[in-house]
Amino acid sequence: MSYEKSMLEKYKMPQKVEVENAILISLFNHEGIIKEFSTGDKIVEEIANKFNLNEEQRYVFLERIYRKENRIVKSPLWTRLLYRAADSLTKDKLITNPKTTFKLTNKKEWMLTEEGYNKVLKLLKIPISEKENFVTKTYEVQKIIKSIQDKPRPSSYQPIEDNSNRIVATREYKVRKRGFRLAVLEAYDYKCAFCGLKIFSLKNKNINWEVQAAHIVPHREKGKDDLLNGLSLCRLHHWAFDEGWLSIYDNYMIDVSKRIEKLPVQYGRLNEFDFIRYFLNDKKRIILPLNKNYYPHYNSIMWHRKNIFLS
């Protein structure tokens, strides 16, 4: 029996497979990303708490002789076990290691992969169909987000996708859809661009934002999955925008269809608040991203005004 294994048994440490599952669940609870393991870090303590580790289990050290410099090197047994479990998950392609993640995000973190995400949902008995409701990032989704965010803003832009670029494969499409959603929500700081609503619920310890990523040129019309064709909207204003009750001018001011005046006054009201007529009385500009490169493109706006807006 190796020295490390004997120490694990002596101090009755959790089994590696149990730690692997705990790491996956922690990744899910932290939106798919956790930092490298260092003694005293919040995530190290958080996972230790799941196993109710005592002080001795948390801080006992492994000792080995570093012969090259003829000195004793100490490493925490619990942190060592975390690394062993995470390395095993990496080999099984359930997470990416900090070195790999750094190449994508410039941050040394562990990150879920799509396979890892599927496994943790199974562990938590959450249907795969609910995958899109969470803001959990996987390595594959983060690559989509980065490609969307890094795309240069063109002087000439066509908001409708060329048929040759359409994604047919269901799995690839779902990853791209989630990447578009998260890129748009991040750009608008998780607020509705029309009313500014920003709120979330905690579902299975994972954040579920109320706002949705809306296509300006709808997906059914082959609208592109990028920031120039996207808006972050609450559910009510997403519906009103898609149905043509609301649109925006090229200066990003909100426009209301005059057809609203033909409806009975009680239509579109939430008690005393009229979520459509409100913009008739108080002319407003949409809430825009901090990065001007992420602003909706004129061509997307004009397409919506010509084809969707009830002018």
Q: For residue 115, what are its two tokens?
A: 């396979």
Closest to 117 measured CA to CA, from 107, 126, 104, 108: 126
**108 part of a folded domain:** no
Residue 262 within a domain: yes
Residues 291, 155 share a domain = yes
Same domain, 37 and 161: no
Structural domain includes residue 136:
no
pLDDT digits (tens, 9 = 90+) for 181-226: 999 999 999 999 999 999 988 765 677 889 999 999 999 999 999 9
The Cα–Cα gap between 23 and 34 comes to 9
Range of the domain at 15: 3-89
Query: Contact 78/40 with Cβ under 8 angstroms?
Result: no
Residue 298 is encoded by which pair of tokens?
């004129």
User: For residue 212, is it within any domain?
Assistant: yes
Same domain, 158 and 303: yes
Q: Is the pLDDT of residue 64 over 80?
A: no
Q: Are residues 58 and 158 in the same domain?
A: no
pLDDT above 70 for 1: no
> Are 266 and 156 found together in one domain?
yes
pLDDT at 164 over 60: no
Instruction: Kindly state whether residues 174 and 246 are assigned to the same domain.
Output: yes
What are the helix and strand counts (H, E) for the chain? Answer: 12, 13
Length of the chain: 311
Q: Is residue 129 part of a domain?
A: no
| Domain-located, residue 112 | no
Among candidate residues 46, 63, 89, the one where a domain is terminated = 89
Q: Residue 75: pLDDT above 60?
A: yes
Residues 174 and 274 in one domain: yes
**In this structure, are 149 and 74 located in the same domain?**
no
Residue 227 pLDDT > 80? yes
Same domain, 21 and 169: no
Q: How many structural domains comprise the chain?
A: 2
Last residue of a domain, one of 89, 104, 130: 89
| pLDDT exceeds 80 at position 256 | yes
Q: Is residue 251 part of a domain?
A: yes
The confidence score (pLDDT) of residue 201 equals 83
Residue 171 sits in the same domain as residue 83: no
Of 89, 121, 154, the domain-final residue: 89
- The pLDDT of residue 155: 83
Query: How many other CB atoms are found less than 10 A from the CB of residue 257?
Result: 18
- Kindly state the average pLDDT of the residues 64-91: 85
**104 falls within a domain:** no
pTM of the model: 0.88
**What's the rounded mean pLDDT across residues 33-57?**
92
* Together in a domain, 282 and 157: yes
The answer on 173 and 73 residing in a single domain is no
The secondary structure element, H or E, covering residue 254 is strand 254-256
262: helix, coil or strand? helix
Q: Are 127 and 23 in contact (CB under 8 A)?
A: no
* The one-letter amino acid at 201: S
